[in-house]
């Protein structure tokens, strides 16, 4: 029984670790989709948590039931073979783009918070990613099993401290003077974007595990943990005015209210970025290997080298423009996944 629940937690950890990337880990993504909308953002997080639980579970169960080994096969089931060809190209570009954002986020962390070279930070991250991914699925499971519990714990600590030392609770019930349609679309575009990308990892993971009960429990736990981390980070960011102007807002909040935990928290943020980066790169490698037949290590080097080029752009604008755009593009994925039966 203990071993089974450990497997459940590993599935949940991979789910959480894949969703939590550069934007989520640093708080920038959460600010753009939720926090800047005040109380509407809080309602959006509750809705997003429900979607993560129900549709993340559904995606993995479908992958297992129909023996779908990668996101291209999953999209062929969801959209039909003809339309899936177009959708898969979009997903491929989104995966590459988001993995590039992860790389930029890692470089930004080294540059903005540690005073090192951005390029040096990105090259170090790429090298470490190749080492971990050479272990395959076991490497992916191992790194997430370590990082995700630490990330959940630190975000809860950050939330509690910010509630007692700042004014997070007051902003949670604040209703902005003007709210655009984006505030109401945010929970849908946010979850659509993330679910469309996590299929690259969750679909082959579900098929490889092969146990429906374990998958259901793991997806449920993963969705709950995602909602918890979203909520705790939202409360922390709500405590500081002008937080939207900062590239790595969670680190700024931690440095302001708990400087004694700042260094360790930077390590956790890097771990969060890293887990998402290797998750996306793992999904890309699986698909490219099917098309090219090249060895895994060469595909990892190719993918990460391309992401190093994308990482040359500034991290903040990449999050602000690319992520909402990808979210709206992914809405059709969310709708079809909702209406189609298992």
Rounded Cα distance between 280 and 98, Å, is 8
pLDDT beyond 70 at 137: no
Closest CA to 250 of 56, 69, 29: 29
* 216 contacts 57 by C-beta, under 8 angstroms: yes
Query: pLDDT class for 222, splitting at 50, 70, 90?
Result: very high
Assigned CATH topology for domain 12-339: Amino acid/polyamine transporter I (1.20.1740)
State residue 44's pLDDT score: 92
pLDDT for residue 214: 92
* pTM to 2 decimal places: 0.81
What would the pLDDT profile of 31-42 be if each residue is shown by its tens digit?
888 888 877 888
Q: Which residue has the tokens 């890692």?
A: 106
What is the model's pLDDT at position 136?
62
Tell me the pLDDT band of 87, cut-offs 50, 70 and 90: confident
**How confident is the model over 251-258, as a mean pLDDT?**
80
Give the model's pLDDT for residue 1.
60
- The per-residue pLDDT for 49 is 93
Q: Output the average pLDDT for the chain.
A: 82
């Amino acid at each position: 029984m203990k071993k089974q629940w450990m497997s459940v937690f590993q599935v949940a950890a991979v789910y959480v670790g894949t969703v939590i990337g550069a934007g989520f880990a640093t708080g920038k993504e959460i600010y753009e989709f939720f926090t800047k909308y005040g109380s509407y953002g809080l309602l959006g997080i509750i809705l997003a948590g429900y979607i993560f639980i129900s549709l993340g579970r559904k995606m993995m169960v479908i992958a297992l039931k129909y023996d779908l080994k990668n996101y291209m096969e999953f999209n062929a089931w969801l959209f039909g073979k003809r339309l899936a060809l177009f959708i898969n190209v979009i997903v491929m570009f989104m995966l590459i783009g988001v993995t590039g954002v992860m790389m930029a986020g890692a470089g930004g962390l080294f540059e903005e918070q540690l005073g090192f070279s951005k390029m040096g930070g990105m090259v170090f991250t790429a090298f470490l990613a190749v080492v971990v991914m050479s272990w395959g699925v076991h490497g992916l499971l191992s790194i997430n099993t370590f990082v995700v519990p630490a990330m959940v714990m630190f975000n809860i600590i950050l939330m509690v401290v910010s509630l007692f030392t700042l004014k997070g609770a007051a902003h949670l019930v604040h209703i902005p003077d003007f709210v655009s349609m984006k505030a109401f679309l945010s929970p849908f575009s946010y979850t659509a974007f993330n679910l469309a990308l996590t299929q690259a990892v969750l679909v082959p993971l579900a098929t490889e595990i092969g146990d429906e009960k374990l998958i259901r429990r793991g997806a449920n736990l993963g969705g709950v943990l995602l909602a918890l981390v979203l909520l705790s980070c939202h409360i922390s960011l709500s405590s500081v005015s002008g937080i939207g102007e900062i590239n790595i807002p969670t680190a700024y909040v931690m440095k302001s209210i708990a400087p004694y935990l700042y260094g360790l928290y930077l390590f956790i943020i890097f771990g969060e970025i890293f887990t998402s980066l290797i998750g996306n790169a793992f999904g890309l490698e699986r698909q490219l290997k099917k098309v090219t037949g090249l060895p895994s290590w060469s595909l990892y080097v190719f993918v990460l080298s391309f992401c190093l080029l994308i990482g040359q752009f500034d991290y903040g604008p990449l999050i602000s423009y690319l992520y909402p755009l990808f979210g709206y593009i992914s809405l059709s994925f969310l709708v079809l996944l909702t209406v189609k039966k298992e």
